[in-house]
Chains A and B, each alone.
Chain A
Amino acid sequence: MRRYSILSLARNALSHHQGWPRLWRSPEPRRAYEIVIVGGGGHGLATAYYLAKEHGIVDVAVLEKGWLGGGNTGRNTTIIRSNYLWDESAAIYEHALRLWEGLSADLNFNVMLSQRGVLNLAHTLHDLREGARRVHANRLNGIDAEWLTPAEVKAFCPIVNVARDARYPVLGATLQRRGGVARHDAVAWGYARAADARGVDIVQNCEVTGIEVSGGRVTGVRTTRGAIGARKVAIAAAGHTSVLAAMAGIRLPIQSHPLQALVSEPVKPVLDCVVMSNAVHVYVSQSDKGELVMGAGIDAYNSYGQRGSFHVIERQMAACLELFPIFGRMRMMRSWAGIVDVCPDASPIVSKTPIGGLYINGGWGTGGFKSTPGSGWVFAHTIARDEPHPLNAPFSLDRFATGALIDEHGAAAVAH
């Protein structure tokens, strides 16, 4: 891998940038691999990268039905935080955040991690209790967390409306200063480039149409580009996790919903942190290009169509203007949707399965992007060792049978 730096940029400028190599090769898929990863988004690519880097396994193919990062990796609102309530969630998201903090250097690709701070606003006495509970739990879990009064909220983010007479006035907020945003596409490209450099085959436009199982063990996959043998198959295809699992005869407790996001026209810097609210349901940040990036809750109906309902946008705009009345004349420039897989307890599945050599990483709901490095890291461990890492052991499939759920519905301050 040729390293990127300001010097390499300058050197290439002299040759009119003719000398830059491909970020990743585009090989024809081989007939068999040790490990086939289904899904070329952030999670699948990170898994491939950590398989190579941490476990020395490079006989790996990542199969992507469309273009790399074209699923939820390229459709989310790029928020990163680890201030989850439950120990299990906090541990895996904090592990991810620590990897995020070194990711640009590790990948030699600037993923533009911007730790500008994430505010979770509280609007009711119930929010206050839950916010305090989360702050206390975060601190004891070794995660930075602060409680801000309305005046401190105003100081940290001057354009937030903290008026006492608002319909749902801001009564306080939690703040994770290490939270922030990153450049979502760059995460897929950076992992792809780094994994490719270590020998992983990345194959785009290769849709998996079947999973071969023999004697209770996986033996390979069928694809639109032919059969590919594999000793192990790992599913990391958010939005279609249950569809792929069904190819191996596994029924997952997952429901798939559209989750919409939108950006405004770009304006000069006006919002320098991430603001999230559950009671006034919306989350907003401003990208480096100047666009306000916004999202809210999932569309209620199950769907695989990557588009949502208009009324959801109308509602989140009303919420946005409650929090930021000065945005009334801002304009929505583009809206879109991804499909999120939601488990009954709103926590992911990173797990072995009843079929030998078949692994599942999915059900991240609305938390997928922020978990990307941690998810790939523990999934690689699970695949390489054929046993979960302690960080993802609680997120095994059998929890739905034992009842050891990690319910982030009632506990998470915001539903994502």
Chain B
Amino acid sequence: MSGAFRLAAGGRIDRAAPLRFRFDGRPYEGLKGDTLASALLANGMHLVGRSLKYHRPRGIVAAGADEPNAIVQVGEGAWTQPNARATEVELYDGLVARNVTAWPGVGFDLGAAASLLSPLLVAGFYYKTFMAPGRWWRRLYEPALRRMAGLGRAPAAPDPDVYDKRHAHADVLVVGAGPAGLAAALAAARTGARVMLADEQAEFGGALLSEGDEIDGRPALEWVGRAAAELASLPEVVPLPRATVFGYYDHNYLAIAERRADHLGPGAPPGLARRRLWRVRARRVVLATGAHERPLVFADNDRPGVMLASAVRAYLNRYAVAPGRRAVVFTNNDDAYRTAFDLADAGIELAAVVDARSHPAGERVGEARRRGIEVLAGSALTGTRGRRRVAAVEVRRLDPGGSAVEGPARTLACDLVAVSGGWSPAVHLFSQSQGTLRFDEARACFVPDRAAQAVRPAGAANGTFTLAGCLAEGLAAGAAAARLAGFGDGTAPPAPLVRTARDGPIRPLWFVPSGRPAARDGGRHFVDLQADVTAADIRLAAREGLDSVEHVKRYTAAGMGTDQGKTANVNALALLSQAVGRPIAGTGTTTFRPPYTPVGFGLLAGRDRGELFDPVRVTPMHAWHVAHGAVFEDVGQWKRPLYYPRAGEDMAAAVARECRAARGGVAALDATTLGKIDIRGPDAAAFLDRVYTNAWARLGLGQCRYGMMCGQDGMVLDDGVTTRLAPDRFLMTTTTGNAARVLDWLEEWLQTEWPGLRVYCTSVTEQWATVAIVGPRAREVLGPLAPGLALDNEGFPFMTLREAEVAGIPARVFRISFTGELSFEVNVPAWHGLALWEAVMRAGEPFGITPYGTEAMHVLRAEKGFIIVGQETDGTVTPLDLGMDWIVSRTKDFIGKRSLLRPDASRPDRKQLVGLLPEDPGEVLPEGAQLVAARPARAIGLKAGRPIPMIGHVTSSYSSAALGRSFALALVKGGRGRIGATVYAPLVGRTLAARIVEPVFYDREGKRRNG
């Protein structure tokens, strides 16, 4: 038997499929079809947690996403899920769950001692105290508050599950598969439109799963079954159960979280994605998201056993669970009478229906009286009793204004209180879509008003609470949505027959007085059960002037829990309205934000984890580098060899060896990663003239030129060598990390500022592989590989391009140099990259050709005073600051030119590029070290101290094999005027001195590039 409170018959549970589970270490049994909440209730467990602040016993209140109390930790180890709602956890065999709020257990909880302090712990108490002494906040108070706060525990290990993502397009997306949603989906699908129907529950039916309604004279679930079957049979329909539409973004873009494996527990097939994120672009959306029942706010309304009236029906009808043995129904509307009937039908004793209305006269009230149910009209619950569970309630007469109770109290023994304060349409998604709401006085709820996107609410989500109305609205909305998406003529199919009870009006009752003096009433009237917010807290906020609805939320934390106030928000803002004497319509709601219910980080990240977090780009020669022991660095998305250590070598030794090879023999660099942009069109040269600081119009065919580009602010943006391939065609190279940014930059100018220019840019970075053959013996290596190519200085001058076969591969060979040495950069189509590299290495073997990485490349170029954008520049450096006046045209215009004419660009104390020679030639200055003009009197410490004026910083710093000493590049204020001066780099505990020199350290005459 799966629990002493399981009803003998009925329910959508499988009595032949018992499931074992544990809660707080104790074993229980439930049935297939149960949620954790229904299984606990079947075992008589109402008390499932303690409240956050006061540690009051708390029980299951709701039956779905609106549950505020029953927050549990499900599963263990890496699979543990914090903060699951027991009402949404589908039971599986072997499920393990724990409460998250009480220790050692929910029955005896040490934290309950906090309730002694409850008179102090009112809304915002922490703003008023814990201020002195200052450091106690961080050391004492805050850690204590942090330990009290929080619900479950984050897993201690990485999530082993995988998550998938899908894109989808729909003509009509219907959200919610209750009566309105099913009707809408049917009406739309029958037109042939592509329909998606998403519902958060395991099966379609919505509220009908929990009610005993009839459609066409038969149980409503038969209609649900037929509708679901018809939808499943239509090829253009995507039915999505267990799928929560959680976000409604601009342009009818909606996000859906589909649960695929949670309900299977450890039995899920391996490899099955736990969840799937659907990103849907829908032509039309029908929101049939239903409504949430509101609790009534009365004294001690938080005792376990106090539940929403609709939740009681759900447990009775859907799960065949008796949530109690003797019940009281407390309501201000006719809907809750259904709970009374269902309780009576299930054989549960009904103490009374307590109805706040003085003269309830609806059809169901009459039926209750006919059935002999005691109806205490014009009355209210003024209190509850019981330790871990409600044992009795107190009933008194409510005065006509609803502000006081009168007469003697009557005590009703009971272990279940079913409460209904009316219904609030689930307007969350409608509001997220920027639709507006209005307060409907007659129905006492916020309903959708004006839509802002292609969306239509239907059914209870629209404030239509009768089944007949839901079906009719759903059919009409579905047909209309399909027509607007281009399908059908908009005619709604005929609605099935449903009998509608004649209900009387609701009596809005936002606060139920308990008979205590008004000033002391409300401290145990709970509005937000999860955040432990009472009516008194709301009033305190209003009294203190925090009287906008957003202030109340932020001051009291009402509506900020994991349920985001689904049961609390409307009551809270109604209480606020009362406190400040303002109509509810004028108070408004807080903003509804995504997600509707919490969404896993893992699902949002999807497969973009680890290696796939960001694409890894490697060159065609990558495998060779790996095989030869290269150490890599990340440059943008690229993996580049940093150096190639040999056995026993550290980085310094390897880099020195690689540098020596380039300077003294021959070395090779994989330069494939440099950005390459093919620029074509009749106006290509004119375009380059505008984007580069130097002139391009007269560059000859096959000529290369170094170019520099600036931002509009005149600061260096990027640099590289660009070559004229044809009169109307250039090949631009960019720095590795900036390639995409430069292409974007060029396109932005072409598309937004100069659309008249006939220029087309194409990224060809991935299409070419590049091998730089560098060093005085470079000709001896390349010569045999390219027998048809003249390599001498006359036949192949510096800064020119030749097309030739290299190692039998058609190639572009550029005679350019980033090291100052004789150098050929051989470009071949990418798929020949490895073949070329291996051919070069073979051809170079007799000469000891040495592969070198980016670190040696940096050293070699720094010895020559060549800058690296992003290292010698940081967005505040002009070409003039770098001493590159020669590259800035005075005759033509270019991007950034006007900024270079601003006064600040010619300020004498601008930082300028200089060289540094450390006083100690064996000491390499740390890159990033700041420079000061005079040796500081004291060493710098870790703590905050008095500022010392800085004059610059070290941008690049290395030990040079060629120079036999350390050297550095730096940006120094007025640096060129300080050549010869000594500057100091204060480090923690010591200060290094260095002499300012010209920034070219090696081969100042530039002879070596000719070999």
Query: Is A110 positioned at the interface, with any CB of B under 8 Å from its CB?
Result: yes
Query: Is B43 positioned at the interface, with any CB of A under 8 Å from its CB?
Result: no
Per the bound structure, the CA–CA distance linking A13 and B544 in Å amounts to 15
- Given contacts A13-B120, A23-B546, A136-B987, is CB(A332)–CB(B604) below 8 Å? yes
- Given contacts A16-B519, A403-B714, is CB(A137)–CB(B158) below 8 Å? no
Query: Is A132 positioned at the interface, with any CB of B under 8 Å from its CB?
Result: yes
- Given contacts A137-B930, A411-B876, is CB(A20)–CB(B940) below 8 Å? no
Q: For A135, A270, A288, A336, which residue has the most chain B Cβ atoms within 10 angstroms? A: A288
Residue of A nearest to B147 (CB): A269
- A15: chain B residues at CB < 8 Å are 519
Per the bound structure, the CA–CA distance linking A104 and B135 in Å amounts to 11
Per the bound structure, the CA–CA distance linking A307 and B943 in Å amounts to 40
Residue of B nearest to A306 (CB): B591
Give the shortest distance, in Å, between B827 (CB) and chain A (any CB): 26
Kindly supply a per-residue 1/0 record for chain B positions 968-1006, scoring 1 wherever the CB is within 8 Å of any chain A CB and 0 otherwise: 000000000000000001111000000000000000000
Give the shortest distance, in Å, between A342 (CB) and chain B (any CB): 14
B606→A318 contact, CB < 8 A: yes
Give the shortest distance, in Å, between A333 (CB) and chain B (any CB): 5
Q: How many positions in chain A have a CB within 8 Å of any CB in the partner chain? A: 118
Q: Which of B131, B147, B610, B946 contacts A142 (CB 8 A)?
A: B946
Per the bound structure, the CA–CA distance linking A409 and B584 in Å amounts to 47
A266→B601 contact, CB < 8 A: no
Kindly supply a per-residue 1/0 record for chain B positions 907-946, scoring 1 wherever the CB is within 8 Å of any chain A CB and 0 otherwise: 1000000000000000000111110100000001111111
B151→A143 contact, CB < 8 A: no
Q: Which of B125, B146, B713 contacts A405 (CB 8 A)?
A: B713
Query: Is B154 positioned at the interface, with any CB of A under 8 Å from its CB?
Result: yes
B593→A336 contact, CB < 8 A: yes
Residue of B nearest to A336 (CB): B593
Query: Is A54 positioned at the interface, with any CB of B under 8 Å from its CB?
Result: no
- B157: chain A residues at CB < 8 Å are 326
Kindly supply a per-residue 1/0 record for chain B positions 531-552, scoring 1 wherever the CB is within 8 Å of any chain A CB and 0 otherwise: 0000010001001111010110
Per the bound structure, the CA–CA distance linking A67 and B545 in Å amounts to 11
- Given contacts A132-B929, A167-B610, is CB(A310)–CB(B548) below 8 Å? no
Binds A, one of B137-145, B392-400, B654-662, B805-813: B137-145
Residue of B nearest to A5 (CB): B129
Query: Is B886 positioned at the interface, with any CB of A under 8 Å from its CB?
Result: no
A329→B159 contact, CB < 8 A: yes
Kindly supply a per-residue 1/0 record for chain B positions 587-618, scoring 1 wherever the CB is within 8 Å of any chain A CB and 0 otherwise: 00001011100111110111011110110100
Instruction: Report A240-281 residues with CB < 8 Å from chain B CB.
Output: 264-270, 280
Residue of A nearest to B122 (CB): A17
Q: Which of B279, B613, B946 contacts A280 (CB 8 A)?
A: B613
Binds A, one of B7-15, B77-85, B787-795: B77-85
Give the shortest distance, in Å, between A205 (CB) and chain B (any CB): 8
Binds A, one of B182-190, B344-352, B382-390, B897-905: B897-905
B158→A332 contact, CB < 8 A: no
- B737: chain A residues at CB < 8 Å are 126
Kindly supply a per-residue 1/0 record for chain B positions 563-603, scoring 1 wherever the CB is within 8 Å of any chain A CB and 0 otherwise: 01000000000000000000000000001011100111110
A269→B146 contact, CB < 8 A: yes
B550→A70 contact, CB < 8 A: yes
- A132: chain B residues at CB < 8 Å are 926-929
Query: Is B161 positioned at the interface, with any CB of A under 8 Å from its CB?
Result: yes
Instruction: Report A123-139 residues with CB < 8 Å from chain B CB.
Output: 123-126, 128-137, 139
Query: Is B523 positioned at the interface, with any CB of A under 8 Å from its CB?
Result: yes
Task: Decide if the interface of chain B is mainly helix, strand, loop or mixed.
Answer: loop
B987→A330 contact, CB < 8 A: no
Per the bound structure, the CA–CA distance linking A20 and B591 in Å amounts to 28
Query: Is A289 positioned at the interface, with any CB of B under 8 Å from its CB?
Result: yes
- A16: chain B residues at CB < 8 Å are 519-520, 523, 536
List residues of A whose CB falls within 8 A of some B CB: 4-6, 8-10, 13, 15-18, 20-26, 66-68, 70, 74, 87, 91, 94, 101-102, 104-105, 108-110, 112-116, 123-126, 128-137, 139-146, 166-168, 178, 183, 185-186, 189-190, 204, 264-270, 280, 288-290, 305, 307, 309-310, 313-315, 317-322, 325-336, 344-345, 399, 401-405, 407, 409-411
Q: How many positions in chain B have a CB within 8 Å of any CB in the partner chain? A: 123
- B932: chain A residues at CB < 8 Å are 140
Give the shortest distance, in Å, between B97 (CB) and chain A (any CB): 14
Per the bound structure, the CA–CA distance linking A245 and B142 in Å amounts to 41
Kindly supply a per-residue 1/0 record for chain B positions 949-982, scoring 1 wherever the CB is within 8 Å of any chain A CB and 0 otherwise: 1100100000000000000000000000000000
Give the shortest distance, in Å, between A57 (CB) and chain B (any CB): 23
B520→A330 contact, CB < 8 A: no
Residue of A nearest to B941 (CB): A139
B142→A144 contact, CB < 8 A: no
- A325: chain B residues at CB < 8 Å are 158-159, 609
Residue of A nearest to B953 (CB): A133
Instruction: Report B81-135 residues with CB < 8 Å from chain A CB.
Output: 81-83, 119-120, 122, 125-132, 134
Total A-B pairs in contact (CB under 8 Å)?
Answer: 344
Give the shortest distance, in Å, between A9 (CB) and chain B (any CB): 5
Per the bound structure, the CA–CA distance linking A139 and B601 in Å amounts to 37
B551→A20 contact, CB < 8 A: no
- A320: chain B residues at CB < 8 Å are 601, 605
- Given contacts A4-B128, A140-B986, is CB(A290)–CB(B599) below 8 Å? no
Per the bound structure, the CA–CA distance linking A320 and B145 in Å amounts to 25
- A333: chain B residues at CB < 8 Å are 562, 564, 595, 598
List residues of B whose CB falls within 8 A of some A CB: 79-83, 119-120, 122, 125-132, 134, 137-138, 142-143, 145-147, 149-159, 161, 247, 249-250, 253, 255, 279, 519-520, 523, 536, 540, 543-546, 548, 550-551, 554-555, 557, 560-562, 564, 591, 593-595, 598-602, 604-606, 608-611, 613-614, 616, 633-635, 642, 712-715, 737, 870-871, 873-876, 899, 902-905, 907, 926-930, 932, 940-950, 953, 985-988
Per the bound structure, the CA–CA distance linking A289 and B250 in Å amounts to 31
- B564: chain A residues at CB < 8 Å are 333-334
- B80: chain A residues at CB < 8 Å are 329
Add 14 more A-B contacts to A21-B544, A330-B600, A333-B564 (CB < 8 A).
A25-B545, A113-B137, A135-B928, A136-B986, A141-B947, A167-B614, A264-B601, A318-B604, A321-B602, A321-B609, A329-B80, A329-B81, A329-B82, A407-B874
- A186: chain B residues at CB < 8 Å are 127
A112→B126 contact, CB < 8 A: yes
Q: Which of A22, A134, A183, A402 contacts B903 (CB 8 A)?
A: A402
Q: For A68, A116, A190, A403, which residue has the most chain B Cβ atoms within 10 angstroms? A: A403
Per the bound structure, the CA–CA distance linking A268 and B153 in Å amounts to 5
B605→A314 contact, CB < 8 A: yes
Per the bound structure, the CA–CA distance linking A204 and B944 in Å amounts to 40
- B871: chain A residues at CB < 8 Å are 126, 129
- A307: chain B residues at CB < 8 Å are 249-250
- Given contacts A330-B82, A411-B876, is CB(A267)–CB(B544) below 8 Å? no
A189→B601 contact, CB < 8 A: no
Per the bound structure, the CA–CA distance linking A108 and B904 in Å amounts to 44
Per the bound structure, the CA–CA distance linking A270 and B82 in Å amounts to 13
Q: Which of B146, B255, B870, B905 contacts A126 (CB 8 A)?
A: B870
B903→A403 contact, CB < 8 A: yes
Per the bound structure, the CA–CA distance linking A290 and B83 in Å amounts to 12
- Given contacts A112-B137, A136-B953, is CB(A22)–CB(B550) below 8 Å? no
- Given contacts A17-B122, A310-B247, A330-B82, is CB(A410)–CB(B634) below 8 Å? no
Residue of A nearest to B246 (CB): A332
A328→B137 contact, CB < 8 A: no
Per the bound structure, the CA–CA distance linking A85 and B540 in Å amounts to 45
B147→A410 contact, CB < 8 A: no
B606→A401 contact, CB < 8 A: no
Per the bound structure, the CA–CA distance linking A102 and B564 in Å amounts to 34
- Given contacts A26-B545, A326-B154, A335-B593, is CB(A407)–CB(B875) below 8 Å? yes
Q: Which of A131, A144, A267 contacts B942 (CB 8 A)?
A: A144
Residue of B nearest to A178 (CB): B944
A403→B150 contact, CB < 8 A: no
Q: Which of A124, A130, A134 contacts B634 (CB 8 A)?
A: A124
